[in-house]
Each structure stands twice: as structure tokens, then as C-alpha cells.
């Protein structure tokens, strides 16, 4: 088998290539496109919410639709936008940063994407099939158990499918980082983005099973007459809250730690210095992840756990501020005396520091259990978590997307437009959410469809809604930039930012086998060392040889499609047992695909070393 066969032209061929790919770089693009699509969808939902709240006593949308909007907005943003965008960056970058040719299990990588994708599509089908879930993204029982219609069923089944994809995706990255590092790439030489992706994957491994279990119990309560969460039948609704937050709190660290990794790489690159306090950064990452697991009940202060439990969880929560503070100071010290270049990723990083710090401060305020009795379920909470999620995660995602765009696509987004995007989004973000702290302190409850005139809430709500328009315009500038850049298609070199880490040592986009010869890593910031000592050429760790590659396969798509079909059948069998036929068809497709995968040997193919004569991937910087 030859490699030339993989280079077909035409739209149909390109589509088929993406539907069957097992290449981490292409899977990254799939995650990016899907994640940005859902980001726009979640953004549209947010704008509709803010239009409803632009005036007091507004009748723009119905109360029921409003409930569906905030539920789907939160669910979409967390599970279908932020998570896949993190996976997009991890797929695009981690194998390159550690000098690997792919992730450990390319097939599983593709399967993880398709499961996420079909779960997300299933969830959103609910809009067209009688109503979306309406019990909040937290789906608290017993509200979620007794919610009418099929909305919450789509939530339970859709997130279940999607969540399995995330779980196996995370496991893949754990194995990849442990097993696939190039010679010399010791743990304490790994770039911070790889470190944080690794730790986030460990968090996924421990957090997502709690969600899996919770969603199964909810599914059984709603579809199969179980009573796990129905107090009148001996169930316990608080169990849902525990299961949800044992997953849900680590989830925010799954999102923020990779963003921290992006900022660490971006700040050191554009300060032209190695990261200050590298080992304390690694230690702080691990510590944040560890403590992050023990604080879930700070979401449950008002449930009635009692003063002792509340105090323990309050103190544990506040403790996270310590390693986080260490990180903030390390970023500042990295810039100190550095040769700073204000590229757009760097500007996002600079803006992140004060924004995220505000979110951290309100977090410590909320962690004070007694005070939380006042803040709980007010707009203060909404302001807080948007400060950390948008001011931290979203700024980090866009910094990372812009920073690694040249590596992913071989083109460079227009810097001027990037700065426009930044300013519109950043100003809009603070306009929208800063003022919500005060709305909350003035008593405006969260998730209310209307507020009344003469409550003194009009002006601040108006300003908040205006901010959302700014963010929308900013996002459109970004989209415009993407389209124009890709239409022009001006090629860039392998190292347009003067980078420090291994991904910048090969062409942009990299050849499908990544590294022609596995590089030899001689220290932290491996490429930078060679730039100082060896004209920027990585030294090979192995002689030129044949490269083993996996074949493309349609099986992951089919396995996921089967679960999608089965999910619809399982949801509707409550109305009519005949839907089990659809369920059976779906499970048969998945099971059949698994059987096919087990029985058929797929040994991949080799690229022979004679075919590797072109100068791609040899450290020549494209």
C-alpha cells in the first residue's frame, strides 16, 4: 500500500477522508469545527436570553421557552462547545509537543469524537421533537424526573453518549503522554500545555464516571419506572446533586487547566523567556486538580448538609486560591523583564489575568458558606462563573486557537482582525457580566424569566444585554477572519511565532506522520535549545526508517451512529413499545460494528523510508 493513494482531491473524497480519519490533526479540525458550531448555537441561545431580559416585564419569549433556552445554553456551552474545543487543541498540539507520531489509540480517538458529536446532535434534536430539556444544565432531581415531555430524556441520553466519548478521549491522552514521549522528553521537560492536558485527562477519568452513573439513574427513573430520586417512593433527590457535582466541580478544572496551559506557553513564547517557576507550575497544576476533587459540596451549602460539612467544604474551596495564586505570580514573573510582543494570543493572555482574578475573588466570596445563603441562585453566581468560564476558559481557547491556527491550517489569521475581535469581545464580556454582580447583590434571582419594573433592575439589565451584542459582533469578526484567511490561503512557515516547543520544529500543517525522524529532546523548550545551539534543527533520535501508520476506518462513525439511533428508540419506547424496534436496530449497528472491528485484522501500512525524501518534517521549519 502506498501513501500516494491517500492524497485524493474533490469534495466527496475530502468529506470521506474526514469521516474515516484516525489522524489526530484531522480529528482536531473536526473537534474545532463542531465546537465552534456549538459555540455559535450556545451564543445564539444566550443572546435570546439577554433580549428577553433587556426590558422589564418583557414578552419576547414564553416562560417555557426561556427555561429551555438557559438549560440548553449552559449544557451546550459546557459539553458541546468548551469541551470539544479543549479536545481540538489537545489533539492538535499534544502529540506534536511530545514528539509523537499520533496518539496512543488512533481508532479510539476517532470514536471519541463521533460519540461526542452524535450525542450533541441527539441533544439538539429535542428542539425539533417537542421541546428541549428545561430543568437547567444541572438537571436537579426531582424537577428533572418530573419534567414533562421528552426534553430531559434527550438530556440524559444525549449527554450519556457524548460523555462516553469524552471519557475514552481522556483515557487516550493519559496513555499517550505516558507512553509516546520522544527520547529525552522527561515529565519535567514537557511543555505546560501538555502537562495541563494530561492532568485534565486524569480528571476526566475520575469525574466522568460519576456523571455516567447519575445519568443512568436519571434515565432509569424517567424511562423505566425506577425511583432513585423520588422521595415519595423512598428515593433521595440529594444523591443526584452529589453525583452531579462530583462530576461538575472537577469539570470546571477540566476546562480551566488546559486554558492555563495555553497561557503558560503563550506568555513564555511572547516574552521570549522560559516559563518562570516551571516546576512550581507543574506542582500547582497537580495540586489544583487534587483539591478540585474534594470541594464539590460548595455547590450544596444551602441543601442542609449542616455546619460541619459546610465548613470543611468552605475551607477546602478557599485553599484552591493558593496554587492558583502561585500560577498568577509565575505568569507575571515570566513577563517581568521579558521581551514582550503584543501579538493577539498574548493580548488574550494579558486580559485573562485580571478577568480571571476577579472570578477567583468572587469564588472565594461564594466559598464562604454563610454568605452563600445570600448569594445563592442570584445573578452574583451567574457573574462569578462567567468570569471564570469566559474570562478564563473562553479567552484561553481563543488564545490557543489563534496561536496554533498556523500549525493546524498552515495559514495565519489576520492580526488586525484578531485585535478587533479581542477588543469587542473583551469589552462586551465585562459589560455583560460585571454589572451582574450588582444585580445579584440587589436580589435578582437566577433563571427568572422576567423582572418587574420599579425594582431598580432595568438599567443594569439593559447594559448587560448591550454587552452581549458586543460579544456577538466580536465573534462575527472572528468568523469573518477565518473565512477570509482560508479563502486567501497564504501559506506560512513552520514557525511563524518564533516558538520554543517541538510543534514548531516541523512544517505547518505537519506531514501526516508528524516527524520524519523522532526528535531527540535535550531539555525544557526543546526547540529553543536547538535554536541557541544548533541553528534551530532538532537532532534525530533514530535513523531514518519506515513509519508505521494506521488505516482510515468508517467503523467509529458507525458505532456512534448506532448509539444515536438506539437513543431515539429508547427515549420514545415510553410512548409506544414499537419504538424498541428502532432501539434494537441501533444497538445492532453498534454491536455489529464492534464485532467487525474485533474480527477483522487491520494492521495498517508502512511509509517506506525511500518515500520520505522530501524535506518535510526534518526540523527545517517548513
Closest approach of Cβ 363 to Cu ion, in Å?
A: 8
Q: How many CB atoms lie within 10 A of CB 480?
A: 14
Q: Which does 249 bind (CB under 5 to 8 A by kind): ligand HEM, Cu ion, none?
A: Cu ion
Q: Which does 447 bind (CB under 5 to 8 A by kind): Cu ion, ligand HEM, none?
A: ligand HEM
Enumerate residues 40-69 that contact ligand HEM by CB under 6 A.
43, 46, 49-50
Closest approach of Cβ 271 to ligand HEM, in Å?
A: 27
Q: 26 vs 249, which CB is nearer to Cu ion?
A: 249
Closest approach of Cβ 298 to Cu ion, in Å?
A: 5
Enumerate residues 420-459 that contact ligand HEM by CB under 6 A.
432, 446-447
Q: Is residue 249 a contact residue for Cu ion (CB under 5 A)?
A: yes
Q: Which position among 351, 471, 559, 571 is part of the footprint of ligand HEM (CB under 6 A)? A: 471
**Cα dihedral across residues 223, 224, 226, 232: positive or negative:** positive
Closest CA to 369 of 295, 314, 449: 314
Q: Is residue 115 a contact residue for ligand HEM (CB under 6 A)?
A: no
Binding track, positions 8-47, relative to ligand HEM; x by CB under 6 A: -----------------------------------x--x-
Whether omega for the bond prior to residue 142 falls within 30 degrees of 0, making it cis, is: yes
Distance from C-alpha of 289 to C-alpha of 245, rounded to nearest angstrom: 15
**CB within 8 Å of 345: residues ≥ 6 apart:** 266, 270, 399, 400, 402, 403
Closest approach of Cβ 456 to ligand HEM, in Å?
A: 18
Angle at 32 between CA 30 and CA 33, to 5 degrees: 70
Distance from C-alpha of 181 to C-alpha of 184, rounded to nearest angstrom: 8
Q: 77 vs 218, which CB is nearer to ligand HEM?
A: 77
- Residue tagged 467503523 (cell numbers): 555
Angle at 540 between CA 535 and CA 544, to 5 degrees: 130
Q: Which does 103 bind (CB under 5 to 8 A by kind): ligand HEM, Cu ion, none?
A: none
**CB within 8 Å of 532: residues ≥ 6 apart:** none
Q: 136 vs 183, which CB is nearer to ligand HEM?
A: 136
How many Cα atoms sit within 13 Å of 190 on the Cβ side?
26
Report, in this order, helix, strand and coil percent for the chain, each rounded to 5: 70, 0, 30
Q: Which residue is nearest to Cu ion (CB)?
A: 249
Closest CA to 400 of 263, 525, 285: 263
Q: Is residue 390 a contact residue for ligand HEM (CB under 6 A)?
A: yes
Q: Which position among 22, 394, 413, 526 is part of the footprint of ligand HEM (CB under 6 A)? A: 394
Phi, psi of 605 (to 5 degrees): -145, 170
Closest approach of Cβ 306 to Cu ion, in Å?
A: 19
Q: 139 vs 412, which CB is nearer to Cu ion?
A: 139
Contacts with ligand HEM, residue ranges (CB under 6 A)? 43, 46, 49-50, 70-71, 73-74, 77-78, 81-82, 136-137, 382, 386, 389-390, 393-394, 432, 446-447, 468, 471
Amino acid at each position: 500500500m502506498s501513501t500516494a493513494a491517500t492524497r485524493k482531491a474533490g469534495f466527496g473524497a475530502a468529506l470521506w477522508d474526514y469521516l474515516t480519519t484516525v489522524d489526530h490533526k484531522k480529528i482536531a479540525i473536526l473537534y474545532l469545527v463542531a465546537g465552534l458550531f456549538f459555540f455559535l448555537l450556545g451564543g445564539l441561545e444566550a443572546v435570546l436570553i439577554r433580549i428577553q431580559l433587556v426590558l422589564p416585564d418583557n414578552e419576547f419569549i414564553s416562560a417555557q421557552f426561556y427555561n429551555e433556552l438557559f438549560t440548553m445554553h449552559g449544557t451546550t456551552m459546557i459539553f458541546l462547545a468548551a469541551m470539544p474545543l479543549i479536545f481540538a487543541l489537545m489533539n492538535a498540539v499534544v502529540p506534536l509537543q511530545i514528539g509523537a507520531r499520533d496518539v496512543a489509540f488512533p481508532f479510539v480517538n476517532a470514536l471519541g469524537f463521533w460519540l461526542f458529536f452524535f450525542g450533541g446532535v441527539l441533544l439538539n434534536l429535542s428542539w425539533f421533537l417537542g421541546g428541549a430539556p428545561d430543568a437547567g444544565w444541572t438537571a436537579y432531581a426531582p424537577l428533572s424526573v418530573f419534567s414533562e415531555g421528552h426534553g430531559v430524556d434527550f438530556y440524559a441520553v444525549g449527554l450519556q453518549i457524548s460523555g462516553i466519548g469524552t471519557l475514552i478521549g481522556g483515557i487516550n491522552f493519559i496513555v499517550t503522554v505516558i507512553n509516546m514521549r520522544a527520547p529525552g522528553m522527561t515529565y519535567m521537560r514537557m511543555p505546560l500545555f501538555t502537562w495541563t492536558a494530561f492532568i485534565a485527562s486524569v480528571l476526566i477519568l475520575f469525574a466522568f464516571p460519576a456523571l455516567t452513573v447519575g445519568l443512568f439513574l436519571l434515565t432509569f427513573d424517567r424511562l423505566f419506572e425506577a425511583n432513585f430520586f423520588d422521595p415519595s417512593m423512598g428515593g433521595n433527590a440529594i444523591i443526584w446533586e452529589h453525583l452531579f457535582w462530583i462530576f461538575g466541580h472537577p469539570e470546571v478544572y477540566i476546562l480551566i487547566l488546559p486554558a492555563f496551559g495555553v497561557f503558560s506557553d503563550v506568555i513564555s513564547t511572547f516574552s521570549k523567556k522560559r516559563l518562570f517557576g516551571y516546576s512550581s507550575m507543574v506542582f500547582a497544576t497537580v495540586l489544583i486538580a487534587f483539591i478540585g476533587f474534594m470541594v464539590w459540596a460548595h455547590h450544596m451549602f444551602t441543601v442542609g448538609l449542616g455546619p460541619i460539612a459546610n465548613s470543611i467544604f468552605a475551607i477546602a474551596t478557599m485553599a484552591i486560591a493558593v496554587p492558583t495564586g502561585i500560577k498568577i505570580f509565575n505568569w507575571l514573573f515570566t513577563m517581568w523583564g521579558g521581551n514582550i510582543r503584543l501579538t493577539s494570543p498574548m493580548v488574550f493572555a494579558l486580559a485573562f489575568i485580571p478577568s480571571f482574578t476577579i472570578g477567583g475573588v468572587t469564588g472565594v466570596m461564594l466559598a464562604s458558606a454563610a454568605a452563600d445563603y445570600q448569594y445563592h441562585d442570584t445573578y452574583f453566581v451567574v457573574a462569578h462563573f462567567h468570569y471564570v468560564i469566559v474570562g478564563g476558559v473562553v479567552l484561553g481557547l481563543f488564545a490557543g486557537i489563534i496561536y496554533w491556527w498556523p500549525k493546524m491550517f498552515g495559514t495565519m489569521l489576520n492580526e488586525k482582525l484578531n485585535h478587533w475581535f479581542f477588543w469587542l469581545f473583551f469589552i462586551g464580556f465585562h459589560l455583560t457580566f460585571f454589572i451582574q454582580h450588582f444585580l445579584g447583590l440587589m436580589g435578582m434571582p437566577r433563571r427568572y424569566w422576567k423582572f418587574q419594573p420599579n425594582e431598580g433592575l432595568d438599567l443594569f439589565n439593559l447594559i448587560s444585554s448591550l454587552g452581549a451584542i458586543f460579544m456577538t459582533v466580536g465573534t462575527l469578526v472572528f468568523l469573518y477572519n477565518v473565512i477570509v484567511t482560508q479563502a486567501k490561503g497564504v501559506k506560512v512557515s513552520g514557525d511563524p511565532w518564533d516558538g520554543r516547543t517541538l510543534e514548531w520544529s516541523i512544517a505547518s500543517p505537519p506531514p501526516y506522520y508528524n516527524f520524519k525522524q523522532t526528535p531527540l529532546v535535550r531539555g525544557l523548550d526543546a526547540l529553543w535549545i536547538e535554536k541557541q545551539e544548533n541553528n534551530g534543527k532538532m537532532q534525530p533520535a533514530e535513523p531514518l526508517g519506515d513509519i508505521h501508520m494506521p488505516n482510515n476506518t468508517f467503523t467509529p462513525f458507525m458505532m456512534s451512529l448506532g448509539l444515536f439511533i438506539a437513543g431515539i428508540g429508547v427515549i420514545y419506547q415510553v410512548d409506544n413499545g414499537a419504538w424498541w424496534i428502532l432501539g434494537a436496530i441501533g444497538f445492532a449497528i453498534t454491536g455489529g460494528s464492534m464485532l467487525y472491528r474485533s474480527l477483522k485484522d487491520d494492521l495498517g501500512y508502512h511509509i517506506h523510508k525511500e518515500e520520505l525524501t522530501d524535506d518535510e518534517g526534518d526540523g527545517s521549519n517548513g
